[in-house]
Structure 1
């Protein structure tokens, strides 16, 4: 009987398969995950992930993306991340990244 390595299974939202790029048509076609990281000593930074549901494309973060923060509170960091996510969604609706 083999022992478990203690590692959790990798969660796959969009399995590896070829999916045709498909632009979103409304804000409902996107998922925005806004949160924060950091401590009160160094300030709080917003964390963000934006996924287009129509084809599973990760729109944010991307290589070279600016950090969101620092902020004095967790709430400010999350609010800033949410606002940046909405900007990304609006930008992709106006000019889809395919």
Structure 2
């Protein structure tokens, strides 16, 4: 690093690569990540992320999505999150969000 020259390193930005919306053809074109958060005192909530792998689009969570829970056990919360994920995938297969 040359501190005495007064020059700063030049930043180079590359344009973002555009990936056109590509609907999924089957359930293998989606990734469902289901987990939980919460505690015994507040109850357990399902936490979900659904991604369409064909174009990388995040389908869930979205603005305004309701919470999944509360539930009394971790297992029920995760099961509910997985079920919601399956609903999102089936909905996108029937009516793709582009």
TM-score w.r.t. structure 2 length?
A: 0.84
Q: Which residue of 2 aligns with 1:46?
A: 46
**What SS class does the counterpart of residue 55 from structure 1 fall into?**
coil
* 2:18 is the counterpart of 1:18: yes
Residue pairs, 1:65-76, within 5 angstroms: 65-76=65-76
Q: What SS class does the counterpart of residue 19 from structure 2 fall into?
A: coil
Give ranges in structure 1 of 5+ residues lacking alignment. Answer: 2-15
Larger-gyration structure (1/2): 2
Unmatched 5+ residue regions in structure 2?
2-15
CA distance in structure 2 between the aligned counterparts of 1:48 and 1:58, rounded to whole angstroms: 11
Partner of 1:63: 63
The RMSD of aligned alpha carbons is 1.1
Which residue in the other structure is 2:80 paired with? 80
